[in-house]
Structure 1
Amino acid sequence: MQITQLTPVPVAPVARRTRRDLDVLAAVAVVLVIVGHFWLGRVSAGVDVLLVLAGYYVGARVLRRTDGSVGTEIWWWARRVIPALVLLLSASAGLTLAVQPQTRWEAFAEQTLAGLGFYQNWLLATTAADYAQAEETVTPLQHLWALSVAAQVLLAFLLLAWLIRRRAALVVVVAAAAAGSMVWAFLQHSDNQTLGYYSSFTRAWEVLAGVLAAFAVGRVRWPGWLSRVAAAAGLIAVVAAGILADGVIDYPGPWALVPVLATVLIILAGSAAGDG
């Protein structure tokens, strides 16, 4: 009896879909930040959009993994963030030593350490720095506070994902944490707006909204025309919030719901598009 050996047919790996729409959204958010600071003289909604996107990308990676490895995800994030951060800090240090008076060197050194340690937001919260006012304690590194918030919240999420392996339970815990953070943000907005602006506890809900959006992707299906309308409406809402609202005064209070929910809408619209 002759045995025929079958040669396995190689199967090309499934390519991960690149979200060009989110690349465009991130670019719009960066432009809003720049325009807000240099031309409008206030903080825009761009930071809120970027916090949501950070949560979405890390949440999506966690969903693709089956081994629950926290270290792998931390290493992936660090390889993309730390080299650029070190380059930024080095260039800023050179410029500071070259053009800034010595009276500002101490503040710069303090914020450099805070940037490297990802606690810049807490440094600014405790020193009650005015985000929009150029004082002796204000340096270009002050803008790294949002990176510190994202790093702290995402590290906490990765630890949760390692401890809670059941996806449904993880979603419930993340949703509860996001709701609690949002309520606390609204309360702090009235009681202590400076602390509320920089605190990781009051900003966590924005990052976790992106994580929850990652969990929702693939579970909704809309007609193509509805997805396009939703994406356009979300983009208009982001731009409008960036122009009309002053982030220092209005965020992270109820106004922050506009850019956050608009970003989530764009994420879902891009993944839920069907025919039509």
Structure 2
Amino acid sequence: MQKYRPDIDGLRAIAVIPVVLFHAGIPGFSGGYVGVDVFFVISGYLITSILYGELENRKDITFSSYILRFYERRIRRILPALFAMMILSTFVACLILMPTELHEYGRSVVATILFGSNFLFWREAGYFNTASESKPLLHTWSLAVEEQFYIVFPIILLLGYRFAPKYLRSAIAVGTLGSLALSVFAQNRWPEANFFLPLPRAWELLLGSLLALYSLPAITSPTLRNGLASLGLVAICSSIFLYDHSTTFPGATALLPTLGTAAIIYAGMHHTSAIQRALGCRSLVFFGLISYSLYLWHWPVLVFSRMYALRDLTYVESACVVALSVALAIFSWKFIEAPFRNKSTLASKQKLFSVTFGSMTAIGFVGIVFVLSSGFPQRLPPEGKTILADAVEPAKRAEKYECATTRLIEAQPYGPCAIGNKNAPSTIAVWGDSHAMALTATFDSLLYDKGLAGVLISVPGCPPVVGIDRVSWVVSCRQMSDQVLEYLQSNNIRKVIVVGRWSYALHEDNTTFEGNTSYDDETRNRNIREGLHHTFRTFADNDIQFAFMMPVPGAKEDVPQTIARSILLGRPAHIEYSREDYQAELRPLDDILDSSPVHANAIISVTDLLCTDICKVTRDGRSLYFDSNHPSAYMNQLLTPVVEEQLGLFLNRQ
């Protein structure tokens, strides 16, 4: 049996602390999410060590006793603290979540109890779905991946040990390489599936399993042990401090933290090293001991704290929330984890399994009630319900794209949707990202009133720029834009209205244009500037007139949910941008338009309509946005006459 290694508890601390600080938004830990991958390698090593040790020491072990003993340990290790976190989170959810959020929370409760939350969150990871900051159980995806792995792996290990022991290590090595190859292949094609699903993640656990099976020879040189462990720690820390949200992950980039973890574990398997002794210090070991509880508690505490604050937390507030999470973790470890891991609590297997099944049933039932009740909307006062009526559920947003008369690319639902007077010849196109689709009512009404017909082409997440691609996006924006241009040319479209959000492309999302990939605001601005200028020249070369609509201001948080929550809590929410901030946001676009060799035939601005000193997010008790930035149906009503006035000459010009 593997002896206790305090350095692995220290390694757990190295994994969990960056995860918590990353989620809390503390600067300097932009790649803290790799801590989960460190956990996977540790888990694969420890669990395989236990299972393999049993097979080695008890040659006559039966299949049933082997499996029952394993799942008894998993239940004692995982479920008591998980149940406690879910029960308290469910109580808070009833007080603070909006109906749609509580409905989705109910689904996640059921999925978590069944250890399938990773599949749920994968399905919810599309462009139109709720932001992760509003999902209190999102972090359970990693537990689900582990448990799905451990449904299969113990059986494979037993069968391999019994019937093909000579090939066991080779088979697991092949599985490791196969899963890694799948992860690398899938990263740019199916990034959400690659992140959440077990097959492309299995190699990280199997990497630890290979170490536990003593697949590598012992290191006898102290210098080599110290060097390998040091390199491992440098690899982990490099990924924590150098990776960020723009890093393509997992895939090949996950090799840095996982191989670093494996190197540290391997270096200490037979003899100790300086890194092992450092990781075994009392403070790190302590955080390693509470790491599971800390991982469980920190995320819902952060989510609910942000919701209660009705805004992002300050650094001081985030630090306080982290401290509260640590306190809860200590309590959970001492009074929940430790007692249940001691087999004197619920000593009978039958009793343990009965209580576990009963608890799962009860918690799952509550989740089902939340789903069937649609999140108990009756909890809200009437004005809260009015605001929430302007929200659009993710499924409804996706349904809007079903209007496409033809698909730009066969595998994607996006294409031209008819707008305006359907009896007139179509000569006008509105082209943009998801904001174009959100403004369908405005442009449809505008063209219809003028007796004109056109199409609206919306590709969510893709800026309306010919020749530009977005790095690691779910669709090829460049391919889409090429198809849009071909459609305009082949269908005799003479006028185009360009609509986009732009702030992501200018400040957050990395893009590629003519072989140049952006990596900071300067290069992002360069790509959009050169891309738009190229697009405008392309319009001119094809005798296409174009108008350019400046983006709406948006808000700092989801407007319907946050304002309704503020009504429920009885506190104001200050989520508006100032007019000054909004105009500063527009400045790069102003410069791009002014410096273009081909100027727009019309510019649409909504500043005066939506902004005084601040840019309003509600009017007359209605929300102007259906989330944090997409115009709501009510905003469309307000915008229609304004846009009509500014586009009058453009639309009437021959």
TM-score (norm 2): 0.38
1:130-164 per-position Cα deviation (integer Å, ceiling 9, x unaligned)? 8xx97388412101101111111122111102222
Query: Which position in structure 2 is the counterpart of 1:205?
Result: 203
Question: Cα offset for 1:42?
Answer: 6.0
Contact 2:176–2:202 (8 Å) recurs in 1: yes
Give me the whole-angstrom Cα distance separating, in 2, the residues matched to 1:204 and 1:185: 9
Which of 44, 48, 59 is the equivalent residue of 2:37?
Answer: 48
Structure 1 residue 129 displacement after superposition = 5.4
Paired position in structure 2 for 1:111 = 108
SS at match of 2:269: helix
**Unaligned runs of at least 5 residues, structure 1:** 1-14
Aligned-partner residue type, residue 257 of structure 1: L
- Note closer, same or farther for the CA distance 1:129–1:195 as it changes in structure 2 (3 Å cut): same
Greater strand percent: which structure? 2
Stretches of structure 2 that go unaligned for 5 or more consecutive residues are 56-60, 275-654
- Root mean square deviation, CA, Å: 2.5
Higher helix residue share? 1
Contact residue 229 and residue 267 of structure 2 kept, 8 A:
yes
Contact 1:217/1:271 (8 A) holds in 2: no
The size of the alignment, in residue pairs, is: 260
Distance in 2 (alpha carbons) for counterparts of 1:150 and 1:168 = 26
Choose 61-70 or 259-268, whichever is displaced more: 61-70
Q: CA deviation at 1:275?
A: 9.4
Aligned to 1:72: 69
Letter in 1 for 2:80: P
* 2:6 pairs with one of 20, 28, 41: 20
Q: Aligned partners of 1:126 and 1:137: how far apart in 2? A: 16
The question of whether the paired residues in 2 share the 8 Å contact of 1:129 and 1:138 is answered with: no
CA separation of 1:90/1:115 partners in 2, compared to 1, >3 Å: closer, same or farther? same
TM-aligned CA deviation for residue 233 of structure 1: 1.9
Indicate yes or no: 2:124 matched with 1:127. yes
Corresponding residue number in structure 1 for 2:212: 214
Distance 2:255 2:175 in 1: 16
Larger Rg, first or second structure (1 or 2): 2
Q: Does the C-alpha gap of structure 1 residues 136 and 160 become closer, same or farther in structure 2, counting only changes over 3 Å?
A: closer
- Classify the secondary structure of the residue corresponding to 1:44: helix
Give distance in 1, aligned partners of 2:197 and 2:256. 20
Q: What are the Cα deviations for residues 171-222 of structure 1, in whole angstroms up to 9, with x where unaligned?
A: 2222111111110100110211111111111101101111111112784133
Query: SS of the residue aligned with 1:34?
Result: helix
**Distance (Å, rounded) in 2 between the aligned partners of 1:274 and 1:100:** 50
How big is the shift at 1:228?
2.4
Contact 2:172 / 2:210 at 8 angstroms: preserved in 1?
Answer: yes
Asked whether the equivalents of residues 122 and 196 of structure 2 are also in contact (C-alpha less than 8 Å), the reply is yes
Residue 144 (1) aligns with residue 151 (2): no
* Structure 1 position 170, deviation (Å): 2.1
Query: In the aligned structure 2, how far is the partner of 1:137 from the partner of 1:254?
Result: 27
How far has the Cα of 1:64 moved from its partner?
0.7
Q: Which residue of 3, 10, 15 corresponds with 1:29?
A: 15
Q: 1:225 aligns with which of 220, 223, 237?
A: 223
Contact 2:195 2:250 in 1 (8 A): yes
**1:235–1:266 contact (8 Å) kept in structure 2:** yes
Partner of 1:11: none
Deviation at 1:58, TM superposition (A): 0.7
Distance 1:274 1:240 in 2: 23
Pick the aligned partner of 2:252 from 254, 257, 262. 254
The structure-2 alpha-carbon separation of the partners of 1:207 and 1:93, relative to structure 1 and needing over 3 Å to count, comes to same
| Aligned counterparts of 1:42 and 1:90: Cα–Cα separation in 2 | 30
How far, CA to CA, are the matches of 2:209 and 2:69 in structure 1?
Answer: 18
Moved over 6 A (4+): none
SS at match of 2:7: helix
Match of 1:3 in 2: none
Q: State, as a whole percentage, how many aligned pairs show the same letter.
A: 26
The residue number in structure 1 matching 2:51 is: 62
CA positional deviation for 1:247? 6.3
The 1-side partners of 2:192 and 2:201 are apart by 12
Verify the 8 A CA contact 1:107 1:138 in the aligned structure 2: no
Q: Which moved more, 1:17-26 or 1:97-106?
A: 97-106
The amino acid that maps onto 1:27 is: A
Alignment equivalent of 1:163, drawn from 159, 162, 165: 159
The alpha-carbon deviation at position 248 of structure 1 amounts to 7.2
Contact 1:43–1:247 (Cα < 8 Å) also in 2? no
Q: Which has the higher contact order (CA 8 A, sep 6+)?
A: 1
Q: Which residue of 1 aligns with 2:399?
A: none
